């Protein structure tokens, strides 16, 4: 039985004759053990490769996340299990032939531990980007408020300790 990625490639290869551009979203997990600079370089290389073959519609830079489940991958040195990864996504518009090349490049990239490629629309991509930005702002606000709360608790604790010491 063929792997899902192989089946996706077979479907796309059957569409290579069509020249009408479509919008695709490539979501991918990068190896969590890569140094931060290497993550940035790898991400930029992926973006540059896609930009050479089509138009970038939207993108989100890699962010380290805990995975909902362990991803295992067989490598030459043995099996590797991943419980976290750098996650990023990019939405792009291209024709089927260039799309097949992009998927083949993602499949060959050893820094990518898993990816998904979907057909989407520009409107859905822009909406996803807006939601991502809103969630990032909300998380930053919550973190700032939590920091203020921790400072207030710390000050109260310091004052209580001073009163006990006196």
H/E element, 37 = helix 36-53
Q: What pLDDT, on a 0 to 100 scale, did the predictor assign at position 56?
A: 95
Q: What pLDDT, on a 0 to 100 scale, did the predictor assign at position 88?
A: 97
Burial class (CB in 10 A: 0-12, 13-18, 19+), 110: exposed
**Cβ atoms < 10 Å from Cβ of 162:** 9
Q: What pLDDT, on a 0 to 100 scale, did the predictor assign at position 18?
A: 58
pTM for the model: 0.72
Residue 151's alpha-carbon distances to 89, 99, 139, 140, in angstroms, are 36, 51, 18, 17
Per-residue pLDDT of the chain (166 residues; tens, 9 = 90+): 444 444 444 444 445 455 789 999 999 999 999 999 999 999 999 999 999 999 999 999 999 999 999 999 988 889 999 999 999 999 999 999 999 999 999 999 999 999 999 999 999 888 888 888 888 888 888 877 776 666 666 666 666 666 665 4
Domain residue extents for the chain: 4-120, 122-166
- Unique residue bearing structure tokens 């991958």: 73
Q: What pLDDT, on a 0 to 100 scale, did the predictor assign at position 116?
A: 96
Q: What pLDDT, on a 0 to 100 scale, did the predictor assign at position 161?
A: 61
Q: What pLDDT, on a 0 to 100 scale, did the predictor assign at position 2?
A: 45
84-93 CB burial, b ≥16 within 10 A, e <16: ebbbbbbbbb
- Could you tell me which residues are beta bridge partners of residue 26? 90, 117
CA triplet 89, 36, 81: central angle to 5 degrees? 70
Burial class (CB in 10 A: 0-12, 13-18, 19+), 14: exposed
Q: Which CATH architecture has domain 4-120?
A: 2-Layer Sandwich (3.30)
Q: What pLDDT, on a 0 to 100 scale, did the predictor assign at position 9?
A: 47
């Amino acid at each position: 039985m063929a792997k899902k990625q192989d089946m996706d490639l077979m479907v796309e290869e059957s569409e290579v004759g069509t020249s009408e551009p479509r919008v695709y979203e490539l979501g991918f997990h990068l190896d969590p053990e890569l140094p931060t600079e290497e993550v940035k370089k790898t991400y930029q290389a992926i973006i540059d490769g896609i930009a050479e073959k089509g138009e970038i519609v939207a993108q989100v830079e890699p962010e380290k996340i805990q995975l909902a489940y362990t991803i295992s991958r067989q490598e030459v040195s043995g099996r590797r299990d991943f419980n976290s990864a750098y996650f990023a996504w990019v939405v792009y518009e291209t024709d089927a032939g260039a799309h097949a090349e992009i998927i083949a490049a993602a499949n060959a990239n050893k820094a990518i531990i898993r990816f998904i490629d979907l057909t989407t629309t520009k409107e859905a991509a822009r909406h996803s980007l807006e939601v991502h930005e809103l969630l990032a702002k909300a998380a930053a606000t919550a973190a700032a408020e939590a920091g203020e709360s921790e400072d207030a608790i710390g000050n109260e604790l310091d004052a209580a300790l001073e009163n006990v010491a006196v």
